[in-house]
Amino acid sequence: MLIDTYDRVATDLRVSLTDRCNLRCTYCMPEEGLQWLAKPDLLSDDEIVRLVRIAVTQLGINEVRFTGGEPLLRPGLVSIVEQCAALTPRPRMSLTTNGIGLKRTAAALKAAGLDRVNVSLDTLRPDVFKTLTRRDRHHDVLAGLEAARDAGLTPVKVNTVLMPGLNADEAPDLLAWAVEHGYELRFIEQMPLDAQHGWKRDGMITAGDILTSLRTRFTLTAEGDGERGSAPAERWLVDGGPHRVGVIASVTRPFCRACDRTRLTADGQVRTCLFAREETDLRGALRSEAPDKEIARIWRLAMWGKKAGSGLDDPSFLQPDRPMSAIGG
């Protein structure tokens, strides 16, 4: 079991499969990209599967989310999913993606054992998408969403970040579109994820702003804390249901007290929090032929030191130096 000094138990593992991405979202990385990790520094497919196996069979992990960078860029993704699906007990498995490669891979991922996907889409306007991502791929994301739904990777969740001066007015339109297509929309407050450190707390669109905007067109009924559990999103029934919308208020209403996550970076480091400044090396233990029991011990020790919160609610918060693309969302 992965328990910390605040009696939180981590049962949800986020695995970053690569630091690379085929978009250049303005809130994530500079236009020219980043200095990518060297291939020898990345975990191999076998190393990823071994760490997931240790987490599931020895540490109580029951949910695995594959992230990036963009995880669909990982050549061995389908095989990794298939091997993890064969574990006993079998973890629930999901994928967070920008959706660009999903049209060609959704069916294979479902067949391999993936349960569902989260797709990032911030706008319904192709021109705004191109401004936000610096790529003209809006149509590919829409096609990927349809392919995921048709393959049964459901519920298909759509993650949206609203930014002033770009897509701040789109919340009601996005929700209407999600309801029409059967997707579950989740708005996420913009967080300091950009490597160029351009994020500013002042002027950010808050959860309160989003809800106010949505209520100009929809009736929202709070689902209640009992339904939420450790999930980061507060959810509301839309016009009485059954459709739901979620808001993740990472900055204004942090959910750290209920956090049940542990994170594995693309180069084999344990992170206790997306915004932690410390990491614990598992890659070195793997490559020095440490037994599973020792790797599990190192992982438990890392999680025991997890801090009470992310620090995002502190106005003086300083962003981590490590690019978020290698850590995973």
Chain centre distance of CA 328: 6
Q: What is the pLDDT of residue 97?
A: 97
pLDDT grade, residue 199 (50/70/90)?
very low
% of the chain at pLDDT higher than 70: 86
Q: How far apart are CA 175 and CA 85, in angstroms?
A: 33
Evaluate whether 159 touches 186 at the Cβ level (below 8 Å). Answer: yes
The pLDDT tens digits of the residues spanning 47-67 come to 999 999 999 999 999 999 999
Evaluate whether 184 touches 158 at the Cβ level (below 8 Å). Answer: yes
**Closest listed residue to residue 148, CA positions, set 111, 113, 105, 187:** 105
3-state DSSP assignment of residue 273: coil
Residue 316 pLDDT greater than 60, yes or no: no
**Which whole-number Å values give the CA distances from 193 to 123, 161, 324, 329, in the listed order?**
19, 12, 6, 9
Mean pLDDT for 122-145 is 95
Beta strand spans in 167-326 (E): 184-188, 220-222, 234-238, 244-248, 261-264, 269-271, 280-281
% of the chain at pLDDT higher than 90: 71
**Closest listed residue to residue 8, CA positions, set 278, 251, 262, 299:** 262
Residue 1 pLDDT greater than 60, yes or no: yes
Chain centre distance of CA 151: 21
Residue 196 pLDDT greater than 50, yes or no: no
Mean pLDDT of the chain: 89
Q: What is the pLDDT of residue 283?
A: 98
3-state DSSP assignment of residue 176: helix
Q: Which residue has the higher pLDDT, 231 or 143?
A: 143
Tokens of 181: 């297509």
pLDDT grade, residue 21 (50/70/90)?
confident
b/e per residue, 167-183, with b = 16+ CB within 10 A?
beebbeebbbbbbeeeb
Residue 106 pLDDT greater than 80, yes or no: yes
Evaluate whether 91 touches 62 at the Cβ level (below 8 Å). Answer: yes
DSSP letter at 71 equals G
Residue 215 pLDDT greater than 90, yes or no: yes
The pLDDT tens digits of the residues spanning 239-248 come to 999 999 999 9
